[in-house]
């Protein structure tokens, strides 16, 4: 009994001091680790008040708690939030595919403990969703449902935080939800890309917090601030975000990484990026070419190439990339932007008329009519998935039951409920399921080699 009381007191003390220690509790990120290694690494970030404190992080390897390299801090002073600090530690020498305990200490006392799930070499599960961070009950329901699927990682296809991806919006609309009840962000890394709502915005100093709050591979095109293709920040307005982002701005907008048998190519698809420009296209071609050895190649963007919703129907500026993706054997392209779920048949596309941004890109389609994802599972062409039903208000619900409103190559269109994608990856098989907030299956396909 006495031991029980002591334990309870210790737990309460840890809980209380943890609450007081963090503005945002520790969350895992892939960091600048695009390629798996025999000893894996993960970044751990957390936010604190703007004061000097002695932070240390330890990882338990075997029976030993191993101190990690010193914690680095960046200060973010962008109103309306008071200045705060973004602390970062890199957890090193982690065994792949393992649950690794770690703990965070402030002034020598443990204030946070969790177990990190590290990248797996083989079969694994991830969750994908987009257009989520609006702080709504729907977003929370989706968050709860995907945490129950116990993914190895979560990938968010943009529009991470509404209304404008601001630091001040991240706490209620992102961290409170995904770190809230399940503490999933402390257990598995979240990866993502900037949607149009995560781009710099003229009115707000704290917009584009993506670059300061996330830590992802820095192997994308080597863009400098102000160059064509870089997120357009305004000097004097976005200085604080750029300073807090360090080398992540503007480079972290696009990147690639390997996870098990998949090579992921992640592209900033905002209208300020011209993927047809020689420098950017060269990076993209080289990235896809170098990934030839991967069993699967998957592309993630915010703006879909092919989709049927009336809303954003003409946001087709990525379509000219389809032949390049096809040439390099991309199996799936995931997008958001459109707030519903859609799946195409396997497609090939040759553009014939490329107009200005926001106008339709016309071309010739070749559709694989035999693939059904059940008995015929080897697609000829790329399957395009829109998974933008992660929390924000849904678009074009009425089209769900009006098949004549779908493009001829659309095979699934679910706009009457919120949902997320679960992808189970194996070397010779991808299993894709779209689940609702109760975990019920709305759509499912299997792809095989
Ligand atoms: Fe969007």
- Please give the distance, rounded to the nearest whole angstrom, from the Cα atom of residue 160 to the centre of ligand 1: 9
Which SS3 state, helix, strand or coil, does residue 57 take? strand
- Residuewise pLDDT in 10s, the chain (449 residues): 455 555 555 555 555 565 689 999 999 999 999 999 999 999 999 999 999 999 999 999 999 999 999 999 999 999 999 999 999 999 999 999 999 999 999 999 999 999 999 999 999 999 999 999 999 999 999 999 999 999 999 999 999 999 999 999 999 999 999 998 789 999 999 999 999 999 999 999 999 999 999 999 999 999 999 999 999 999 999 999 999 999 999 999 999 999 999 999 999 999 999 999 999 999 999 999 999 999 999 999 999 999 999 999 999 999 999 999 999 999 999 999 999 999 999 999 999 998 888 899 999 999 999 999 999 999 999 999 999 999 999 999 999 999 999 999 999 999 999 999 999 999 999 999 999 999 999 999 999 99
Domain identity same for 65 and 161: no
* Residue finishing a domain among 83, 117, 151: 117
Q: Which pLDDT score, from 0 to 100, does residue 358 have?
A: 86
- Please give the distance, rounded to the nearest whole angstrom, from the Cα atom of residue 142 to the centre of ligand 1: 18
* 60, 148 Cβ separation under 8 angstroms: no
Say how many C-beta atoms besides its own lie within 10 A of residue 139's C-beta: 24
* Residue 234 belongs to domain with CATH number: 3.60.21.10
Domain identity same for 64 and 153: no
- Please give the distance, rounded to the nearest whole angstrom, from the Cα atom of residue 131 to the centre of ligand 1: 7
Distance between CA 196 and CA 97 in Å, rounded? Answer: 34
Domain identity same for 97 and 156: no
Query: Near ion ligand 1, which residues have CB within 5 Å?
Result: 159, 195-196, 337
pTM above 0.85, yes or no: yes
Domain that holds residue 33: 2-117
Domain identity same for 129 and 161: yes
- Please give the distance, rounded to the nearest whole angstrom, from the Cα atom of residue 312 to the centre of ligand 1: 9
Q: Which pLDDT score, from 0 to 100, does residue 1 have?
A: 45
In sequence order, the 6+-apart residues with CB closer than 8 A to the CB of 39 are: 92, 93, 94, 95
- Please give the distance, rounded to the nearest whole angstrom, from the Cα atom of residue 55 to the centre of ligand 1: 37
Domain identity same for 387 and 273: yes
- Please give the distance, rounded to the nearest whole angstrom, from the Cα atom of residue 376 to the centre of ligand 1: 33
Domain identity same for 163 and 298: yes
* Residue finishing a domain among 117, 132, 159: 117
Domain count, the chain: 2
Backbone angles phi, psi at 246, to 5 degrees: 55, -135
Residue 179 backbone class (left: φ over 0; alpha: ψ -120 to 50; beta: rest): alpha
């Amino acid at each position: 009994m006495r031991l029980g009381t002591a334990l309870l007191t210790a737990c309460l003390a840890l809980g209380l001091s943890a609450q007081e220690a963090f503005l945002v509790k520790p969350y895992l990120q892939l960091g600048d680790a695009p390629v798996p290694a025999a000893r894996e690494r993960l970044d751990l970030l957390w936010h604190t008040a703007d004061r000097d404190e002695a932070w240390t992080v330890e990882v338990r390897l075997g029976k030993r708690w191993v101190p990690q390299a010193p914690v680095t801090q960046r200060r973010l002073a962008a109103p309306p939030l008071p200045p705060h600090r973004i602390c970062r530690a890199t957890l090193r020498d982690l065994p792949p595919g393992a649950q690794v305990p770690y703990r965070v200490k402030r002034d020598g006392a443990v204030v946070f403990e969790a177990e990190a799930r590290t990248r797996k070499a083989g079969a694994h599960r991830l969750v994908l969703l987009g257009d989520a961070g609006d702080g709504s009950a729907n977003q929370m329901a989706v968050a709860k449902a995907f945490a129950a699927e116990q993914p190895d990682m979560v990938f968010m296809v943009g529009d991470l935080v509404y209304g404008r991806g601001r630091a001040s919006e991240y706490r209620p609309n992102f961290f409170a939800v995904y770190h809230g009840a399940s503490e999933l962000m402390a257990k598995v890394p979240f990866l993502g890309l900037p949607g149009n709502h995560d781009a710099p915005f003229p009115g707000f100093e704290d917009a584009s917090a993506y670059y300061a709050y996330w830590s992802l591979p820095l192997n994308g095109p080597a863009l400098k601030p102000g160059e064509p293709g870089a997120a357009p920040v305004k000097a004097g307005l976005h200085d604080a975000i750029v300073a807090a982002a360090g080398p992540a701005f503007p480079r972290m907008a696009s990147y690639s990484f390997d996870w098990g048998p998949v090579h992921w190519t992640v592209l900033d698809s905002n209208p300020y990026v011209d993927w047809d420009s020689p420098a950017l296209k060269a990076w993209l071609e080289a990235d896809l070419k170098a990934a030839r050895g991967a069993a699967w190649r998957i592309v993630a963007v915010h703006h879909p190439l092919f989709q049927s919703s009336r809303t954003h129907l003409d946001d087709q500026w990525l379509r000219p990339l389809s032949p390049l993706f096809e040439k390099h054997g991309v199996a799936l392209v995931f997008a958001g932007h459109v707030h519903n779920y859609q799946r195409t048949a396997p497609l090939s596309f040759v553009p014939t008329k490329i107009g200005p941004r926001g106008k339709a890109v016309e071309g010739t389609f070749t559709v694989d009519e035999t693939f059904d994802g059940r008995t015929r599972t080897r697609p000829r062409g790329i399957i395009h998935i829109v998974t933008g039903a992660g929390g924000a208000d849904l678009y074009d619900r009425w089209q769900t039951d009006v098949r004549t409103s779908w493009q001829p190559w659309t095979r699934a269109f679910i706009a009457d409920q919120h949902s997320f994608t679960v992808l189970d990856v194996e070397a010779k098989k991808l299993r894709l399921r779209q689940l609702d907030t109760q975990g019920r299956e709305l759509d499912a396909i299997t792809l095989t080699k």
